[in-house]
Amino acid sequence: MAKLFFKYGTVFSAKSLNLIATAHNYETQGKKVLLMIPFMDTRSNGNISTRAGFELKAEMIDTDTNVVDVFIEHLNKKEKIDCVLVDEAQMLSSKHIDQLRDIVVRFNTPVICYGLRVSYTLELFEASKRLFELSDKLEEIKTICWYCASKATHNLKLVEGKPEYKGNPIDIGGLEKYLPVCYNCYVNPPIEKELKGV
Ligand SMILES: [Zn+2]
């Protein structure tokens, strides 16, 4: 039976790179993947890109998109889909996650979602919460804290070099900066290092 996966991590944990490696593995075996990304991720424009410089075409998922319909549209075009990959899954709604779960069950097709676990305000994203509830398999994509040697578990938001802990959990503006940090460094970030650009 196919499974629903949630591979989660902090910012800079190479989630998109992991997604692209998975897509590459499928493609080299002659298998087809369907890529999906939330429309509100303004960095994308229909492509999944990574800091390593790879790009892949993707279906854009808007608030009122039914992802089951998107999947069926591809099947109707006689496309074979061996796997669905979802980038930035935390930006979807819980309804979208229910639909992805439905794809796995109805079509016996694996769906692998990549995304953040918690926001910089220390809240589970709605979609991430639903993924924790519905996934068959959870996997943490690990990276280390920006400031120390601990594992990063949280995302620190810096605006003009100062930590910000309150606001809209989904904030994709441009000027702020997010760093992967451990909880201790989240609460008490050694900002000096950041300001000096070390
Ligand atoms: Zn730390």
Domain edges within the chain: 4-142
pLDDT for res 158: 92
Whole-Å CA distances, 95 to 91, 99, 127, 165: 12, 6, 8, 27
Helices 94-107 and 67-76: angle between axes, nearest 10 degrees: 40
pLDDT in tens, 2-16: 999 999 999 999 888
CA 60 to chain centroid, in Å, comes to 14
Residue 171 is assigned to a ligand binding site: yes
% of the chain residues with pLDDT over 70: 86
pLDDT for res 176: 72
Distance 37 CA to ligand 1 centre (A): 30
Distance 130 CA to ligand 1 centre (A): 28
Active-site residue (options: 59, 88, 126, 194): 88
**Max CA-CA distance within the chain?**
57
Q: Which residues of the chain have pLDDT under 50?
A: 198
CATH number of 4-142: 3.40.50.300
Distance 173 CA to ligand 1 centre (A): 25
